[in-house]
Chain A
Amino acid sequence: MSEVIVVTSGKGGVGKTTTTANVGAGLAMLNKKVVMIDTDIGLRNLDVVLGLENRIVYNLVDVVEGKCRLKQALIKHKKYPELCLLPSAQTRDKDAVTPEQMKELIEELKADFDYIILDCPAGIEQGFKNAIAGADRALVVTTPEVSAIRDADRIVGLLEANEMKQIDLIINRIRMDMVKRGDMLTVNDVCDILSIHLLGVIPDDEQVVVSTNQGEPLVGTNSLAGHAYQNICKRLEGEDIPFMDLDVKKGMLGVLKGLFKKN
């Protein structure tokens, strides 16, 4: 039985697309058949993050409008053949698709894939409604900032109102040094406000920017964020993985820097 997961956040720029790409790739690494659907019609970029933008011929809107077959629009990932992308259209807007059409599309994909991951656009309008229509499960991505948490809270409320079966939280871009200093909300603070199940914590990592620009998912590489995404994938698979210690030991240089900062 395939699982349909929507990655959403409300606020933009918190890492929905990055999370979609990495979770998708991570699950593919665990030998699962995965399809990612970019539902951000008009502002597509999941293809860019995955480094597949040059292969797009047909897109989501073409499929829905019957201009091509579903199989024609699916793009296989260059590294993981089990990983597919259904890109969105860049020339249209969110109203080009209805929630009913999305449901139909997802039903069709269920036959061939273990995981269907939907990358939701920011906001709570038509695009959001399309993205959540066929989903069984939601991953709410937030950063430890009050603005992102406020939006995430709204999203959780809307998901609950739409009877989403399972809602999990991913806290992205946390900086343990700032948390320690008391300049950033802690994981507990965020969980306290949102009161939903925590699926994973991703540390702020320079490598994320590098991997995005290169169009290579971070997951599987030897970076802190990469490990964190891998753990999330394993948890999605039902494994019980403890949360990792994000507190990296500072090198000599770091200690010196710290000393100077205090004075």
Chain B
Amino acid sequence: MSNEVVIKSNRSGLRLILDNETPFPELLKIIGEEFRQRESFFKNASMAISFEGKELSVEEEKKIMDVITENSSIQIVCIMDKDSDMEERMRLQAEAVRDYVLQENLAVLESMGGPADFYTGNLRSGQVLESPSSITLIGDVNPGAKIISQGNIVVLGSLRGNAFAGAAGDSSCFIFSLDMRPLQLQIGEYIAKSPDREKRGRRLLKKEKNTASSYTPQVAVIREGNICIEPMTKGCLDR
């Protein structure tokens, strides 16, 4: 590799570092050779290019471009200014695009209730599942276990322990379970406990058992400052 022309690449393009002392026609020749040698390496990549080390006129830049396209199949997308913050700007631009896509995805997610985590298995007494995002648990939450989320909680199984949705204070969150028999529910700043065990008559226990075996999916939400458990019906979460 010659010292007159150094080709460097970064994430978004090529940097040509040109020797200021060498006359332009000679540089042109060397650039042509360099690119011909690396033709197979670059193939027909499309990239931005920048020049450093030598002041170039617009005409000279165009000439270099011509030489590059002549000697290789690189598609030059654009010419960037040579200064050192160029890379920074390229990075920012790339990030802006990425952020935009991310924002768009997030917006979609947000409209669906934010990002959610999936878990499978049973939460047993003493175990705590905590997540900053919404939680979907395929399994049971047993008495003594706790499930905590800053978003919503969906339990595809029995909820017999404690659940805390909207743990960062969001009272618009909901808790869903196929079999809602929790000890305690918390949504945002609201808290509700299960009804105290009644001194049940002999038959009562049996009756309760019957309803338990044919349970209905239920959802807990805040209604006028109280936690309400309602049957999960179409549209019951729209307000």
Contact = CB atoms under 8 A, between A and B. Distances in A.
B124 A156 contact: yes
A122 B25 CA distance: 90
A214 interface: no
Contact of B125 (A153, A181, A183, A189): A153
Contacts, number: 41
Contacts of B203: 182
B202 A154 contact: no
Interface in A146-190: 146, 150-151, 153-154, 156-158, 160, 181-183, 186, 189
Interface of B: 122-127, 140, 142-145, 158, 160, 202-206, 209
Q: Which 4 A-B pairs rank lowest in CB-CB distance, beginning with the nearest?
A: A157-B124, A154-B125, A182-B206, A153-B125
A221 interface: no
B140 A195 contact: yes
Interface of A: 146, 150-151, 153-154, 156-158, 160, 181-183, 186, 189, 192-193, 195
Given A193-B160, A195-B122, A153 B144 contact: yes
A154 B128 CA distance: 12
A193 B209 CA distance: 13
A153 B123 CA distance: 9
A151 B124 CA distance: 10
Contacts of A146: 143
A157 B204 CA distance: 31
A182 B125 contact: no
Contact of B124 (A160, A181, A183): A160
B209 A150 contact: no
B125 A157 contact: yes
B186 to A, nearest CB: 20
